[in-house]
Amino acid sequence: MAGLGTSDLLARLWEKQVPYIVADSNEVIVSQRFYPELRVAFDLTEPQPLAWAFPKGRDDSLMLAADAFFQRIHENGQLQQLRERYYGHVREFDYVGVRRFMRHIEQRLPKYETIFRQAASEHSHDWRLLAAIGYQESHWDPQAVSPTGVRGIMMLTDRTASELGVADRLDPIASIGGGSAYLRYILQRLPVHIENPDRTWLALAAYNIGYGHLQDARILTRKRGGNPDRWMDVKESLPLLAEEQWYKDTRYGYARGVEAVQYVQHIRSYYDMLVWQTKPDAKPITVASSTATQNLAALSAPVL
């Protein structure tokens, strides 16, 4: 097993080629969605900080440069932004939800994958992001209808569908095409200087809560000393749109901002799993019933 990385070891464990492995908890957090049946056995150590080591010698210029670098990205928020980008949406592992999603990838997605690909191509999206939105909205159910009247795979409102020229929201081709066009419209409305991935996460929030409410949240973010162009700052302000002391002074008023934050986090996770599933060397997951735990450290093979 010498020379194998954690992802390779996890794959071998999943395939029962090895009985157990030891892995860093941060890598387990990211990978557990891809191997939902793996069980964490126990913690080997107490939590420990990650650190960089340098060879001991007279010249400590490299170490001093590294110290200065980490101090700088800590102070300017870049380090926190990196943590948000790679770990902000994977902390809460929903075992049942992951199993359901994997099952729907196998049973439902093949019916609509070509439509997602075509619509994404027309509006310059990654088709897997579009599919992740569709799953969050309706679990890829073309007949889905919410109590508030939104319908179809992409859950378009009647007004949005009308503006986009979508005559039948329950038609998968029309719904997915309309959702793709709507996402492109939101992305084009955002200030041009906002870069990805923040641009995409902000657009997803607007898809859920409305562009006006997103702008209110961005204004609140600026007032609170945050960066309105960074998702990690705006997501702290979105829940305030449900509190009167904050929303009373906004242009568009009350909104369920917590739901928008959860919406974006779920789509990010679904997108990650779809990217992993569509890798050329990815192996399809066969889901079986078992109980998962979240103690992070030594992992044992699944009982299938």
| Mean pLDDT along residues 229-236 | 95
| Mean pLDDT along residues 94-123 | 91
| Mean pLDDT along residues 33-53 | 75
- The domain ranges of the chain are 7-29+38-46, 95-277
Cβ-Cβ contacts under 8 Å for 280 (sequence gap 6 or more): none
Whether pTM > 0.85 for this model: the answer is no
Tell me, what's the pLDDT at 199? Answer: 96
Q: Which CATH class is domain 95-277?
A: mainly alpha
Q: Any catalytic annotation for residue 236? A: no
Residues facing residue 298 across a β-bridge: 22, 42
| Mean pLDDT along residues 204-209 | 96
Tell me, what's the pLDDT at 290? Answer: 31
Q: How far apart are CA 182 and CA 186, in angstroms?
A: 6
Q: Tell me which of 31 and 210 has the higher pLDDT.
A: 210
- pLDDT above 90: percentage of residues in the chain: 53
Tell me, what's the pLDDT at 76? Answer: 76
pLDDT value at 90 more than 60? no
Q: Where are the alpha helices (DSSP H) in the chain?
A: 6-14, 25-31, 61-75, 78-87, 95-107, 109-122, 127-138, 158-164, 172-189, 198-209, 211-223, 231-237, 244-247, 257-277
pLDDT value at 289 more than 50? no
- The kind and range of the H/E element at 41 are strand 39-42
- pLDDT tens digits, one per residue of 5-24: 777 777 777 677 888 888 77
Query: Would you call 104 exposed, middle or buried from its count of C-beta atoms within 10 A (0-12, 13-18, 19+)?
Result: middle
pLDDT band at 183 (very low <50, low <70, confident <90, very high): very high
Q: What angle do CA 242, 243, 248 make, to 5 degrees?
A: 100
Catalytic member of 75, 92, 113, 137: 137
Token pair 């964490």 is at which residue? 40
